[in-house]
Amino acid sequence: GENVEQHPSTLSVQEGDSAVIKCTYSDSASNYFPWYKQELGKGPQLIIDIRSNVGEKKDQRIAVTLNKTAKHFSLHITETQPEDSAVYFCAASRVYDMRFGAGTRLTVKP
Amino acid sequence: EAGVVQSPRYKIIEKKQPVAFWCNPISGHNTLYWYLQNLGQGPELLIRYENEEAVDDSQLPKDRFSAERLKGVDSTLKIQPAELGDSAVYLCASSLERLAGGHNNEQFFGPGTRLTVL
């Protein structure tokens, strides 16, 4: 089955700096790669996703890149703000079997 | 539009007691998922429903866990008897029917039920 590894497990940046979170996956048939943000006491919320036929996708300060050959994808957050502080999860899915990474706790210091 | 609703938000029980969690998905979403989230980990799928049919329950520990979605809308997840290791957050998610062409749909998560087994 699919195995998703996520790095780093914790990330601390100054407000205004960029943050990058990286994930690798094992199943070359995976074709859908969402990123979720989870705040304390809440469920994960989708912030951006990418499908295997696209190499990059951007939405304001958030972008995701996908390298199918190397089987890795990354989340980039620019101009970070304190409200970006949360746990971020990557996931990979072939059909319905979505597998999540272990999460990255991002702290943005004012 | 209301999101995925779960109750209770918190539950504390003693080991060997039964417990049940309830989920109401987003209106019109016929796919419903139950996930287990241990502290510091990502969600792990327990069971997936397509309408009232459990189409993937391979990760559900069937000796003590059960689930139902009788009318294809809301769902209940039960643990009987609960063990210390069951302490975790139980998340419910829902999505629309899979898109034509095989594309996956976004999963919308509820706030979860935090279970503590003493």
Q: What would the DSSP string read from start to end of chain B?
A: ----EEE-SEEEE-TT--EEEEEE--TT--EEEEEEE-TTS--EEEEEEETTEEEE-TTS-TTTEEEE-TTSS-EEEEESS--GGG-EEEEEEEEPPPPTTS-----EE---EEEEE-
Q: Quick check: A54 contacting B, CB < 8 Å? A: no
Residue-level pLDDT at A23: 98
Residue-level pLDDT at A104: 98
Tell me what the mean pLDDT of segment B2-28 comes to.
96
Could you report the per-residue pLDDT of A17-61, keeping only the tens digit for each?
999 999 999 999 899 999 999 999 999 999 999 998 889 999 999
Radius of gyration of chain B (CA): 14
* Best residue in B104, B113, B114 for a mutation probing chain A (most A CBs within 10 Å): B104
Residue-level pLDDT at B106: 84
Residue-level pLDDT at B20: 98
Closest chain B residue to A92, measured at CA: B104
pLDDT surpasses 70 at A102:
yes
DSSP lists the bridge partners of residue B81 as none
Cα B114 from chain centroid (whole Å): 12
The better pLDDT of the pair B96, A81 is held by A81
The model's confidence at residue B86, banded by pLDDT at 50, 70 and 90, is: very high
Residues of A in contact with B5 (CB under 8 A): none
Beta strands A86-92 and B19-24 are unpaired
Give Cβ neighbours of residue B78 (< 8 Å, ≥ 6 apart): B18, B19, B20, B21, B65, B66, B67
